[in-house]
Structure 1
């Protein structure tokens, strides 16, 4: 019922659509959503759908931006998702994002400062302060999204007890590496961090943004709308660089052709 109440008035291209609900043939309430065929981001990063180079950095940037767009829309609509993780980010066949699973979501009116809740699941996505007071704000979603950004860079799950005890929590591992200027030790090798300068520059900037999102103090984290603006800026800067390279190539071609023209030869 919580999902129905929230999703009946939300419409966004990156939120999964709720078609309706029914109790037909069942005593429980069944929710009917649009079908998203390509699994979750978690499936493609470290699950059963992992394939070599299936998620290039450009695709991961688009996933990050579309997810942020959906979350920023939720926050502007006074809704906290409360369960942001790569398992709830669905992908269609074109790898476009549909954020799902609003069972833990709640309305967050402007006249209150936080929402008090029972202990959450998925500790790898919950900010450290939560376990002290069990209070959530929109900045709680920002922290969880910071973990998602780290997963997009590393292709590793948020929690893994098989890792070294200081690296079980992915956010802790990432913060330590970023602070010690060792990001290169973390990045998924298939992304071309060591071979592509532009990719390395973009990943570094996204890692810096993730670092800001993962701050212990909620006031030190940016708002989701600001996160969206930074990600779009990184993406547009990359597009501008690529366009500049194309223009430079065309200029070189023109210079080469005109310098060989008889009308511009030294003898004339």
Structure 2
């Protein structure tokens, strides 16, 4: 993990949207405040702070104008990590790669002195850290997540049980094999979140190379099914998998959620650099 964190050391998490909530900080808000980032003028109204009158504008126009500056807000980053049983699959293992993404995002958040909330999700939502700030919280988080085992099934609707998400960016890291993704994204988007879905899948799920008879075991329910995996079945499977990925992508696009397909055989540090470069 140390080598991975060193690889991503120079990356930054930056919001694309203006923040609508949060204390004073380093990012633009949707309101007006006292930062040095000049926004524009508006005519003076009764009750305005006379100290904000632009006297140079008055000397030219003989009208009173107020200078407005953009607010600066602190950013909150929410990490939602799927730790259902289906994540413990594949070579490279989805759970191990997903943990790298989640801990990498957490490290960058704490390094740049923003607030972090970290949740794990299967058939319930658990808060691991909430509204913490400072790199000293990273060690505790690393220890907790390294000891966590993927188990249970995925129910995205559990996200609705969180009483409040601060304004900022929410990263969901999951293989998306669960119920309620659309409803969860609706909740986050209506709440003003900038949402990113990192869709983690293994090469064996994207393009399986199995042959002959297979015994398939659902890792979340334990259900068993035997199939003859021939070329025709492979073709049908790949078609269905592409449709599933396209469906997840379209669910995101329709809500202006950023979607990133993250195959586990690609370098996580490079994928993070590519993802964060888009912010």
TM range (shorter): under 0.3
Q: TM-score, normalised by structure 1?
A: 0.26
Q: Counting helix residues as a fraction of each chain, which structure ranks higher?
A: 1
